[in-house]
Every structure is written in structure tokens, then in C-alpha cells.
Structure 1
């Protein structure tokens, strides 16, 4: 497993690069360097380091499944036979509609984010998951709407002692 850079190890230059990439993830290195007033080599080496350490994800995570005809989003909770977790995870990795699989604390063994083309297709995907080796029981919840999209920019502005840039959020209003 690759080591992840802790946020305390991200300096202000790293944070500026990440904010710029979040704003325009397809910006060429030279454009980022010019925009940030940095040397191209500095930007390139830092992007490579943050990619290798896991701070930066692949650009494919920005693909909207709805644009690919899979507008139904759901979470499937799975209860496992713990002695077969590796087989279950391997089988889940072979299901194209599985976006990610998480191991949360609590009663759920695995939390699986999936997409489908329709409610009927979601039923098919849920059944495919249920039939994976080691999975005892599943529960599926369809997501009706995303109210706050996946974001990380706010984390870069969080006051964590790492020299974060100030947040661009509007100031909080005080009650009078």
C-alpha cells in the first residue's frame, strides 16, 4: 500500500497547486506554472509526488455516470462471512457498476456505491452483488439527489495548522 502524504506535509505551494487543479483539472503543467508564478519543474515534480502518494486521484473520478447512461445512484450495504472477505472484494471489483467499496465502522461490513441505468437495472446490480461469494445479506438505498457534490477544495482551506489558504466561503452571519 502506498503511503499517503498527511495534510501537515502539504506546504502552501502544494495547496495552491491542488486548488488550481481542482478549478481546472485538465490544465497543462506549463499553464499551471504560469498561473501560479512557479517553475514548470516545480509544478511537475509536486504533481508527480502527490499522485504517487495518493493525494491526487485519477482524472476518471470526475466522469459523471449519468453522462454514460447510468443516472441511478445507490448505496448497497453488505453483510459478509468474514472468512470470505477477499473473495467478496475481488468479485465486487469485477462488477462494472461498482464505483467504490468502503469498509465502514459499525454494523455494515461493506458499503458499496453503485450506478445503474434504471430501477430495474439497479435490481439486477444489487442481485449481482448479493450473489458474490461471502456476501450473506444486502440492503440497497437509491440516492434521489446529490445536495452537496463530492468536493475537497474546502479541505485545503481548513485550519489544520498546515499553512492552509483562507477559505473562500462567505463569512458567517451573526444573529442580532
Structure 2
């Protein structure tokens, strides 16, 4: 894990604003050396700092306007197997392990309620999944974002 600094935050914010900018364009825009920009971007790619581009594609635009969270209670001896099986369900777009009453929080997409019912059934059929609960996402109140944290880092006092 690398720790990002103020210069990294400046470059990343510029990339957020202009995702298709070249290293030369970013360097000019930010008044940085081209090598500085290129070496940092290369390091981020090597260290997998940047998330895959598919995170930016809207499920709605792919024909999946319905989104839901599924909480799943999983037999702990079969947790890794269950995660591997969930990975095979295309409508499972994200899953995280969590503490509390459930073991996994699974974000799914679906074409409509009938499709959601099918996806929920596929999750429940995964070996090790003991029970599930579904909460339909009514609207995205705050979309996934990192810009406010990048802005805080960019604006922080030099250490």
C-alpha cells in the first residue's frame, strides 16, 4: 500500500476532471514535470491504486436499472467457496465482508423485479449461504466518490 501525497492528489483530481488527458497535458495543466506525472501514474498502475474503468460504467446504461443490496449469512467454513461462487454471478457487481448480523453485503443489479427475484435465488443457492435479505436501492443519494478526500489531501499543509 502506498501513501498518496499532495502532488498525487493534484494529479488525480485533474484526471477526475479530464480522464482522457495525456501525461503531457496533465503536466502542463498542473505545472509539473512530465516525468513526475508519468512516474506517478505508472506507479499507481503497478500498485493497483486506480480502480478498473468498469467502475465508471452505469448499470442502467447496460440494461440493469434496478439495484439492490443483499445481506447474506454464510456458514463460516464455506465463506471463501461462497465468495468464489458469487463471483460467477454476473449481476453481483460488488461484495464485501462485514461484521454484524450478516457476513456479506452484496450489491446486485437487475433488469426488473422478476430478474431481481432470479438473482436473489441464485445467491441463496450458493453453497454455504444460509439466508439472505434484500433491500432495493430507491435512488443513489451520494454516488461513489473520492474527490472530497483528494481535495482535502491536496489542500492539506505540507508535512
Q: TM-score, normalised by structure 2?
A: 0.91
For residues 146-174 of structure 1, give each alpha carbon's deviation from its aligned partner in whole angstroms, at most 9, with x where no partner exists: 1111110011133xxxxx2239xxxxxxx
For residues 32-55 of structure 1, give each alpha carbon's deviation from its aligned partner in whole angstroms, at most 9, with x where no partner exists: 122112222221210121233232
Q: Supply the distance in 1 between the matched residues of 2:143 and 2:39 (Cα, whole angstroms).
A: 29
SS at match of 1:47: helix
- Aligned residue for 1:36? 30
Q: Supply the distance in 2 between the matched residues of 1:40 and 1:97 (Cα, whole angstroms).
A: 41
Structure 2 residue 142 is matched with structure 1 residue 153: no
In structure 2, runs of 5+ residues without a counterpart are none
Native 8 Å contact 2:7 2:154 kept in 1: no
Q: Supply the distance in 1 between the matched residues of 2:136 and 2:18 (Cα, whole angstroms).
A: 31
- Aligned residue for 2:155? 166
Higher relative contact order (CA 8 A, sep 6+): 2
Q: Supply the distance in 1 between the matched residues of 2:23 and 2:113 (Cα, whole angstroms).
A: 42
- C-alpha displacement at 1:27, in angstroms? 2.0
- Aligned residue for 1:171? none
- Aligned residue for 2:119? 125
Q: TM-score, normalised by structure 1?
A: 0.83
Structure 2 residue 99 is matched with structure 1 residue 105: yes
- C-alpha displacement at 1:21, in angstroms? 1.4
Q: Supply the distance in 2 between the matched residues of 1:27 and 1:83 (Cα, whole angstroms).
A: 47
- State the aligned residue count: 156
- Aligned residue for 2:46? 52
Q: Supply the distance in 1 between the matched residues of 2:46 and 2:107 (Cα, whole angstroms).
A: 25
SS at match of 1:157: helix
- C-alpha displacement at 1:31, in angstroms? 1.7
In structure 1, runs of 5+ residues without a counterpart are 159-163, 168-176
Native 8 Å contact 1:80 1:135 kept in 2: yes
